Amino acid sequence: SREHSVKRVFHPMAHPNDMDAMPPRVISRGEGVYVFDDAGHKTVDAGAGLWNVNLGYSNHAIKEAIASQLEELPYYSAFKGSTNERLIELSHTLAEWLEPENIKRFFFTSGGSDSVETALRLARQFWKLQGQGDRIKFLSLKRGYHGTHFGGASVNGNSTFRRSYEPLLPGCFHVAVPFDYRNVFGVSDAERLTDLCLAALEDEIQFQGGDTIAAFIAEPVLGAGGVIVPPPNYWPRLKALLDRYGILLIADEVITGFGRTGSWFGCRGWGVQPDLMCLAKALTCGYFPLGAVAIGERVERAFKADNSAMGTISHGYTYSGHPVGCAAALACLRETAALDVVTTARREGDYLLAAFRGMADRFETIGNVRGKGLMMAIEVVSDRAVKTPAGKTYMAALAKATYEAGALVRVLGHTIILSPALVIKRHECDEIVAALQAAFAAASGDP
C-alpha cells in the first residue's frame, strides 16, 4: 500500500517517531501558492516551503533561466582563478540591491547554513588580519536559529538544536532576546524591554571583555525561534552598542532577506547596516540551492589590504557560485523586484495579522499573535493567564485539521508558523484564515 511504501522510506533522522500521529505527507505538485499531495488534496502552502518559496511554485521565468543555463554551462567551479558569467552578473545585481547598505562583495554558498558558517569564519579571519587574534568569541540571541552546521549550532539559541551535538564551538555566548510575550524580566513595554535586553548584552560584553568578541549574530526578526519581532528601537540601539566595542554585526537574513518582513531586508527595516549578511532561501525561492554572504565595507577593506595568503585562501565550496544557481537567482531577483513583493508582504501581512487577532477573540487557546510582513506566528496555550504551552497531541490535531480544511501550516512546538508566498492574493489569505478557523473550532481535548 501507499502507506506502507511511505513508511518503508521513513527516515529516522528526518521524521518524527510518531508516524501514526503525523505520517509524512507526500507532496507531488505545486502551482502558485498551492501544493497537492499524492492523493490530489490541494492546500494553500501557508509556509511557502520553509519560508523560501516567496514567488510560489509556477514561476516560469526562473524555470526557463535554469533550463537555459543547463544548456549553456551546467557547472564550472568558481574557485581559485576561475569564475562564470552568471556569478559576475549576480554579484553586480546584488550590489545594486544592497546599495543602501554599501555592500559590494558577495561570496556564494549552497544554502543558509553554509552562509552562516562562512560569515562566522570570515569574522574570526577579519580580526586575525587586523592582528587582533584574541577576538574569537561570538554573541547571539537566545531562541535564535542559525542553521545546522557546527558554527551555526553553536550560536543557535535553542537547546533542541544544540544539546545532541555538544561540545560545540568554544566561545559562544547567548543573551536575552527582546520578546515581549515571554521574557525573564516580566515586562512587555517595548522601551523597557530594549533597555533591559541591551543592559544584559552590555553586561555580557564587559564580562567577556569587549576585545575578545569577534561578532554578534542575529536574525532581524527571529524565525524558527517562533517569529519574534524585536521592538523598533532594538536594532538601532544594538548597533550603536556593538560599535562602541568594535564588534562586527552579522545579520542572518536567510529568512528576512528579499522582502518577507515588508522591507527588502530585515535590517534595512530597522535602519541598520550590518558588517556581514547571510542570505539564502528567497535568493532562489527554492528552485535551486544557493546562498550568499554579503560582505560589508569594513570587512572588504581588511581583505583588500591583506597581502598574505591568509586573506585569500580557505573559503570555497565545490558549488560556490554554481552557474545554474546564479541563473536561478538572477531570474528570481528580477521577478521579485518586478512584482514588488514588499508591498504585498506588508498589505497581506497586516490583513492576516488582523484576522488572526480576530480569531484570538473567539478561541481561548490562542495565547499570542505576532508578526511582521508575511512572517507570522500564532502561539497556542492551554491557559492564557499563565501562558502554558499547548501539548503535542493538541498541536498535531490542529495541524492535521488545518491541512484537511485546506491550508498547510508548520507547527514548531506549540506555535503555528505562517509564512506564505509573497505573491499571495487576498482570497488565498482568506483560505488560510478559514482553514485555521475550522481547525480551532474543531479542536477538542486538552490543549
Q: Which residues bind ligand PMP (CB under 6 A)?
A: 50, 111-113, 116, 145-147, 219, 223-224, 252, 254-255, 280
- Shortest CB 149 distance to ligand PMP, Å: 8
124 vs 136: CA distance, rounded Å: 6
- Shortest CB 405 distance to ligand PMP, Å: 26
Q: Which residue has the cell 518586478?
A: 338
Q: Are strands 415-418 and 105-109 parallel, antiparallel or unpaired?
A: unpaired
Q: Which residue has the cell 506564505?
A: 420
- Choice between 46 and 280, CB closer to ligand PMP: 280
- Choice between 231 and 291, CB closer to ligand PMP: 291
Is the preceding peptide bond at 170 cis, omega within 30 degrees of 0? no
- Alpha helices by DSSP H, listed for 170-253, are 190-208, 234-245
Backbone phi, then psi, for 243, in 5-degree steps? -60, -40
Helix (H) / strand (E) containing 278: strand 276-279
112 vs 286: CA distance, rounded Å: 12
308 vs 421: CA distance, rounded Å: 45
Asked if residue 56 lies in contact with residue 421, where contact means CB atoms within 8 angstroms, the answer is: yes
- Shortest CB 127 distance to ligand PMP, Å: 22
- Shortest CB 152 distance to ligand PMP, Å: 6
Asked if residue 226 lies in contact with residue 413, where contact means CB atoms within 8 angstroms, the answer is: yes
Q: Are strands 105-109 and 291-295 parallel, antiparallel or unpaired?
A: antiparallel
- Choice between 123 and 255, CB closer to ligand PMP: 255
Q: Using CB atoms within 10 A of its CB, is residue 135 exposed (0-12), middle (13-18) or buried (19+)? A: buried
- Choice between 215 and 435, CB closer to ligand PMP: 215
Q: Which residue has the cell 574569537?
A: 136
Helix (H) / strand (E) containing 27: strand 27-31
294 vs 317: CA distance, rounded Å: 16
- Choice between 242 and 254, CB closer to ligand PMP: 254
CA distances from 21 to 17, 27, 289 (A): 9, 18, 31
- Choice between 14 and 313, CB closer to ligand PMP: 14
- Shortest CB 150 distance to ligand PMP, Å: 13
142 vs 110: CA distance, rounded Å: 26
- Choice between 156 and 402, CB closer to ligand PMP: 156
Query: Nearest residue by C-beta to ligand PMP?
Result: 112
- Choice between 255 and 433, CB closer to ligand PMP: 255
Asked if residue 329 lies in contact with residue 290, where contact means CB atoms within 8 angstroms, the answer is: yes
- Shortest CB 147 distance to ligand PMP, Å: 3
- Shortest CB 7 distance to ligand PMP, Å: 26
- Choice between 147 and 262, CB closer to ligand PMP: 147
- Shortest CB 408 distance to ligand PMP, Å: 17
- Choice between 255 and 353, CB closer to ligand PMP: 255
- Shortest CB 230 distance to ligand PMP, Å: 14
Q: Which residue has the cell 569564475?
A: 83
- Shortest CB 257 distance to ligand PMP, Å: 9
User: Helix, strand or coil for residue 173?
Assistant: strand
Strand spans (E) along 280-434: 291-295, 366-372, 375-383, 388-389, 407-408, 410-412, 415-418
- Shortest CB 115 distance to ligand PMP, Å: 7
Can you give 200-217 as a three-state secondary structure string? HHHHHHHHHCHHHEEEEE
- Choice between 52 and 365, CB closer to ligand PMP: 52
Asked if residue 431 lies in contact with residue 352, where contact means CB atoms within 8 angstroms, the answer is: no
